Structure 1
Amino acid sequence: MLTLDTYYPAGGRVEHEIKIIDVKSTQRDDVLIAMAKLPSASVEKPVVIYRQLLANGETEYRTVSARCPHQGADITDDKLNADGNVYCSLHRRPICIFSEYNHAYLTVKRADEFFIVKK
């Protein structure tokens, strides 16, 4: 599990709770892939769920689109770095997950299901 240099709260906002479906494991224990209808989408699209162990011992989940906002490259295999960003493998554009300007959505796990939640 990665220890972040600096930690910021989730920046993405939702009006209502969103259920994440078809959650699947990846080769990394801190990354899951799934489908969700994010606030900016009209249909369910691929998402990535990142798991981070916080300094207080709690686990926090963040969800982002599985596509880079720059040119739509798949980021599911791209690594979360200590600066709180995933760098798209296509053009190295940072996608903020835990950094200052993140647009990641706070996600909770209840039993075996994941939900994007309001803050």
Structure 2
Amino acid sequence: MIKVTAGSDAPERCNQAFTVAAAALASGVPVSLWLTGEASWFALPGRAKEFALPHAAPLEDLLDAVLAAGRVTVCTQCAARREITVDDVIDGVRIAGAPTFVEESLAEGAQALVY
């Protein structure tokens, strides 16, 4: 489980979270990526494509990798504060709240990383 709280406001931290998520999936580890705070914007079509960080894998490619093999969730409150709805997000992205986060983070064998 990887929770990313940063967006364009902290590009290195943001990109690192997506990179770790994609690397974990490539290694066969199941991944649930949570987009919270400013990272919530990357649940919208085209937003990851706009993000750029020198010498880093494109965020759009990393997000596509996680969507293809893992799970991507936007925090309910974070989405609401940004007026993001289920009709706005990329196919495959869900909006869920604290009960789902707690359930996933406390599951047997779960490891949580926060960026």
Normalising by the residue count of structure 2, what TM-score does the alignment of the two structures yield?
0.26
- Return the structure number with greater helix share: 2
- Return the structure number with greater strand share: 1
Normalising by the residue count of structure 1, what TM-score does the alignment of the two structures yield?
0.25
